[in-house]
Amino acid sequence: MMLISAAMTLVVGHELQSAEPKEEKQRLRKEKKQHKKNKKDDRGPPEKEKEKEKASVPAPSKPATQSPAHKAAPVPVNASASESPVAAEKPAKSKAELRAERRARQDSERASKQGKKEGGQQSTSSKPKATPNELQPVVKRLPDHVQVDDPVALKKLAKKLERQQKSGQGCSLNITGVKVPLRSDYGYKVSLFSHLHQYSRKNPPTQQISIPVTVIHPSIVRLGLQYSQGIIAGSNARSVALLHAFKQVIQDYSTPPNEELSRDLVNKLSPYISFLSQCRPLSASMGNAIKYIKKEISNIPSQCKEEEAKRILQECIDSYINEKIILASEAISKYAIEKISDGDVILVYGCSSLVNHILCEAFEKQRKFRVIVVDSRPRLEGREALRRLVKKGIRCTYVLISALSYILPEVSKVFLGAHALLANGYVMSRVGTSQIALVAKAYNVPVLVCCETYKFCERVQTDSFVSNELDDPDDLIVTRNGKTHLENWQTVKSLGLLNLVYDVTPPDFVDLVITDLGMIPCTSVPVVLRVKNVDQ
C-alpha cells in the first residue's frame, strides 16, 4: 500500500540521509502529493477551499508541536515546510492524518529494525537525523530563474503561477480560467548556460492569455509585451515604465470587502510581477523599485481611506522617480563634468541614458571634447547614442568593438554606464563592457562608471555565468549579399547560438564610480549600501 511504501522509504531515506538527501526528499514529496491527490478525488473542491482557510492557520503551528521523540517524521515535514513556502496552503487535515499513520508505522518498523541492527549503528543514524533538523531552516534556495535545467523547480514554478491566478480570483470556483503563462524555452542552449531561460521573440508570452484578461491588468500586459519585444530597453527606462504602470494599477484598484488595502494590494501585485518576469527577467533596478513600493503599500495605516491611500501611493512613486532617477542624474552630471577637461577624447560604449546626459550637459557647459562611440552586434545600441550626441553637435567617431585596441591609444577617458553594482564591487553591465574595461586598463586609460544608487544591489557575483540573461538566438542571424548563412541553425545538432545580454566587470579595472552620493572607488559600494540601509 502507498503508506507502507512511504514509511519504508522514510526509514531507508534516513540511513542514506548523508548520501543523497535531495533525491530522497523529492521522492518523499512526490509520494505525499500522490497521496493528497487520492484524497482530493474522494472529496469535492468546495471542501478543499474551506480546508485551505483552516489549514493556513494550523499548518504553521504543526511543525512547532512535533515531539522530539519522533525525529523521523518532522525531518521531511520540516524540509517541505521550509523549502516550499506553498506548503502551508496544502490541506493540513490530510497532512496530519498522513503524519499520524506514518508515525505509527515507523514505530513498528523501527522496533523490528532495532532487533536486527546493533545499537551503535542506530545512534549514528539518529545523529544525522538530529543535525539536519537544525540545519533544515538555514538551507537557502536558488532563485527560480537560475534553475531552468532542474525539472522539479520548473514544475514548482508552474504550480506557483497557477496558484497565483487562483488567489487573484479570491473565492471564485472558476479554476479553468486565465493563467499567468509559463513561457517555454526556445532552441538549443549552450550547456554552460542551460540553467537560464532562452525565449524567442516570435512566441510572445501573451499567446496563451485569452482576451479579455481578467487577472492581469492591461497596462501590465502592455508593459510585459514591450519588455519582451525589446521596445523598452535600458535599465532606467524599464524602471520608469514599471513605476508608471504600477501607478495605473493603483489608480484602477478597488479594495474588495473585508480586505485591507495594505495587504490585498501587495497580493494583487504578485501575479503581475511573475508575469513581468516571465516576459523578461527583472533587472536589479526594477527589483529595488518593487521592494520600495511593497514597503510603502504595507506602511499605509489601516484607518486610511481608499482615496487617500491611493493618493499617498501615487505621490510616493512620483517622488521615487524624481529623486532616484531624475535628480540623481543631475547630481551625477555635476560630479562628472569636473572630470571632463578641455581636449579630452572620451570613449563610450552602447547607449546609456546617464552617460549621454552627462556628455550633453558637459557640451552645454562649453567643455571642448570629442567622443568615440563603440558599438557591437546584435543590438547595435551605439547607433542610438550616436544619433543623440550628433544631434547636440558633439564631434563623434563610431567604431565596432573589434577595433577597440586600434582606437584606444587616442582615448583619454572611458565613461561606462551600469545595469547594477554588486555588493562586492563588481559592475554588471551590457555584454562587452568588461572587455572595454580590460583593454583600457592595459593601455592605462582611466575607466569611470556612472551609476545611480538605486541600482546598487546586495547580490554578489564573481563571474558572468551564474546569473545572466539569454536573448533570442535568432538575433544573431544576419543577411549579407543575399545570403543568410545561419538560417537553419536549428537543424545542425551540434550548433548553438549564444546571445548573452550582461557581463560582470571586476573592480580592479574600474578607477572611479560616480554616484549621486559623490565619487567613490569601486570597493566602497558596500559602504554606500550600509549607509543607505541605516537611512531607511
Partner 1 sequence: NVDKNKLVEYFRAQIREDPDVASAVAAIRSLLEFLKRDQSETILGLRENMTKAIQRLEETDSSVAVSSGGELFLRFISLTSLEHPDLSQCKNVMIERGELFLKKISLSRGKVGKLCHTFIKDGAKILTHSSSRVVLKVLENAAADNKRFTVYVTESQPDSAGKLMAQKLHNLNIPVTVVLDAAVGYIMEKVDLVIVGAEGVVESGGVINKIGTYQMAVCSKAHNKPFYVVAESFKFVRLYPLNQQDVPDRFKYKADILKTVKDLNQEHPMIDYTPPSLITLLFTDLGVLTPSAVSDELIKLYL
**Residues at the site binding partner 1, with contacts judged by CB under 8 A:** 339, 413, 446, 448, 511-512, 517-521, 523-524, 527-528, 531
CB-nearer residue toward partner 1: 313 or 514? 514
Looking at residue 445, what DSSP letter applies?
-
State how far the Cα of 378 lies from the Cα of 501, in Å rounded to an integer.
10
**Smallest distance, partner 1 to C-beta of residue 334, A:** 14
Of all helices (H) and strands (E), which one includes residue 134?
helix 119-135
**Smallest distance, partner 1 to C-beta of residue 353, A:** 23
Whether 238 and 283 have beta carbons less than 8 Å apart is answered as: yes
Q: What sign does the dihedral 253-258-261-262 (CA atoms) show?
A: negative
Whether 57 and 91 have beta carbons less than 8 Å apart is answered as: no
CB-nearer residue toward partner 1: 231 or 531? 531
**Smallest distance, partner 1 to C-beta of residue 96, A:** 54
**Smallest distance, partner 1 to C-beta of residue 517, A:** 7
CB-nearer residue toward partner 1: 339 or 370? 339
CB-nearer residue toward partner 1: 272 or 509? 509
**Smallest distance, partner 1 to C-beta of residue 445, A:** 9
CB-nearer residue toward partner 1: 6 or 328? 328
Of all helices (H) and strands (E), which one includes residue 162?
helix 151-168
Strand partners, 427: 421, 505
**Smallest distance, partner 1 to C-beta of residue 519, A:** 5
**Smallest distance, partner 1 to C-beta of residue 418, A:** 18
Burial of 76-87, coded b for 16+ CB within 10 Å and e otherwise, reads: bbbbbbebbeeb
Residue 303, all three cell numbers: 484607518
Of all helices (H) and strands (E), which one includes residue 174?
none
CB-nearer residue toward partner 1: 479 or 523? 523
**Smallest distance, partner 1 to C-beta of residue 437, A:** 14
Residue bearing cell 532616484: 324
**Smallest distance, partner 1 to C-beta of residue 168, A:** 44
**Residue 240 CB neighbour total at 10 angstroms:** 19
Whether 489 and 477 have beta carbons less than 8 Å apart is answered as: yes
CA dist 16 → 6, 108, 113, 128 (Å)? 15, 20, 15, 10
Distance of CA 371 to the CA centre of its chain: 35
Residue 214, all three cell numbers: 481578467
CB-nearer residue toward partner 1: 241 or 449? 449
CB-nearer residue toward partner 1: 306 or 410? 410
Residue bearing cell 566587470: 505
CB-nearer residue toward partner 1: 10 or 440? 440
**Smallest distance, partner 1 to C-beta of residue 520, A:** 6
Of all helices (H) and strands (E), which one includes residue 420?
strand 420-421
CB-nearer residue toward partner 1: 330 or 338? 338
CB-nearer residue toward partner 1: 41 or 342? 342
Written as one string, the DSSP assignment of 467-533 is S--B--GGGG--EETTEETTTTGGGSTT-----B-EEEE-GGG--EEEETTEEE-GGGHHHHHHHHH
State how far the Cα of 505 lies from the Cα of 425, in Å rounded to an integer.
9
CB-nearer residue toward partner 1: 158 or 520? 520
Whether 151 and 258 have beta carbons less than 8 Å apart is answered as: no
**Smallest distance, partner 1 to C-beta of residue 318, A:** 26
CB-nearer residue toward partner 1: 281 or 507? 507
**Residue 61 CB neighbour total at 10 angstroms:** 9
Whether 455 and 418 have beta carbons less than 8 Å apart is answered as: yes
Written as one string, the DSSP assignment of 96-124 is HHHHHHHHHHHHHHHHHHHHHS-HHHHHH
**Smallest distance, partner 1 to C-beta of residue 527, A:** 5
State how far the Cα of 7 lies from the Cα of 162, in Å rounded to an integer.
30
CB-nearer residue toward partner 1: 209 or 340? 340
Distance of CA 96 to the CA centre of its chain: 35
Smallest Cα–Cα separation from 454: which of 297, 223, 235, 244? 235
State how far the Cα of 430 lies from the Cα of 419, in Å rounded to an integer.
7
**Smallest distance, partner 1 to C-beta of residue 510, A:** 11
